[in-house]
């Protein structure tokens, strides 16, 4: 299936100019929704119904928000609610709606050097990892996953950055690349469950820590405000956001599975 991803808005302009722009939008998105294959499933359904082409820029949540603030997108779809609300409160987004959720997990090698396998207490697990000096690979990229990871370390009373370059390794990369790096060095990694299910290079790794309510992972959708960014395709952006939170869009999200496992659970209000 054709992947519908673009690197920059400039590429869009080169491909079709103003005529194409009238029928397309750019979504600034977290990498997890792209890595999981969700867009490959959802976007053809939306385009077939509306004729609107959706082009996805998949980066960490922090970068996605910055891109949208620079008016380099029509819709924001990320997973860091506090940062999303600041985006809307600053006038960059028209409104924010809960879209879907899954959860975070910590994966680790079969050897389990910190002895955390089977734990559901994420703060306790992170404390054990730190006390053991066991390798931990972090995205370190201001993504939604990284923001959540740092909040969990803080709740555990640990500053892992004090051990940066020692047992705590920051990759500055997306989720898939960080998983590959972590597995290569035998490190624990925190990842969203959808990316882990879709990830093919698991080797001897398995989920070690899961089930803590603090590992809840909420996604939201926000149309970019035409008042802040007059160049946005506001009508098409609203059509896309409304479709995602409609009964039809929510059913499509629920239907997407990998290896017979549902990756995202729709929870838009009213559905």
CATH class in words for 104-215: alpha beta
Unique residue bearing structure tokens 């390794």: 169
User: CA 82 to CA 136: how far, in whole Å?
Assistant: 25
161 CB contacts (<8 Å, ≥6 apart)? 168, 170
Is residue 244 within 8 Å of 266, Cβ to Cβ?
no
Range(s) for CATH 3.40.190.10 in the chain?
Answer: 9-101+218-266, 104-215
Unique residue bearing structure tokens 């390798």: 135
pTM of structure: 0.85
Q: pLDDT digits over 236-250, tens only?
A: 999 999 999 999 999
Q: Got the DSSP string for 147-172? A: HHHHHHHHHTT--GGGGBTTTEEE--
Q: Find the range with the poorest average confidence among 14-18, 151-155, 221-225, 246-250.
A: 14-18
Q: What is the pLDDT of residue 6?
A: 44
170: left (phi over 0), alpha (psi -120 to 50) or beta: beta
Is residue 60 within 8 Å of 144, Cβ to Cβ?
yes
Report the SS3 class of residue 37: coil
Q: Find the range with the poorest average confidence among 6-20, 31-45, 66-80.
A: 6-20
Q: Where are the extended beta strands (E) located within 38-96?
A: 53-58, 75-78
Q: Could you tell me the fold of the domain covering 9-101+218-266?
A: D-Maltodextrin-Binding Protein; domain 2 (3.40.190)
Unique residue bearing structure tokens 């629920």: 254
């Amino acid at each position: 299936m054709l992947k519908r991803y673009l690197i920059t808005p400039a590429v869009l302009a080169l491909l079709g100019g103003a005529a194409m722009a009238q029928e397309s939008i750019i979504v600034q998105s977290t990498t997890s929704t792209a890595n999981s294959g969700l867009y490959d499933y959802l976007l053809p359904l939306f385009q077939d119904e509306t004729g609107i082409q959706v082009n996805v820029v998949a980066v960490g949540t922090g970068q996605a928000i910055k891109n949208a603030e620079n008016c380099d997108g029509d819709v924001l779809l990320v997973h860091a609610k506090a940062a999303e609300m600041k985006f809307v409160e600053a006038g960059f987004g028209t409104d924010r709606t809960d879209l879907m959720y899954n959860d975070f997990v910590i994966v680790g090698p079969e050897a389990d050097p910190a002895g955390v396998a089977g734990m559901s207490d994420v703060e306790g697990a992170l404390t054990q990892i730190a006390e053991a000096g066991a390798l931990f690979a972090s995205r370190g990229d201001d993504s939604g996953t990284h923001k959540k990871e740092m909040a969990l370390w803080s709740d555990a009373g640990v500053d892992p950055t004090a051990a940066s370059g020692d047992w705590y390794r920051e990759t500055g990369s997306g989720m898939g690349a960080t998983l590959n790096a972590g597995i290569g060095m035998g490190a624990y990694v925190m990842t969203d469950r959808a990316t882990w299910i879709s990830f093919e290079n698991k080797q001897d790794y398995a989920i070690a820590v899961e089930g803590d309510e603090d590992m809840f992972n909420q996604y939201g959708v926000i149309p970019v405000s035409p008042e802040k960014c007059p160049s946005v395709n506001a009508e098409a952006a609203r059509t896309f956001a409304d479709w995602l939170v409609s009964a039809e869009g929510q059913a499509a999200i629920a239907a997407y599975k990998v290896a017979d496992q549902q990756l995202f659970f729709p929870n838009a209000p009213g559905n």
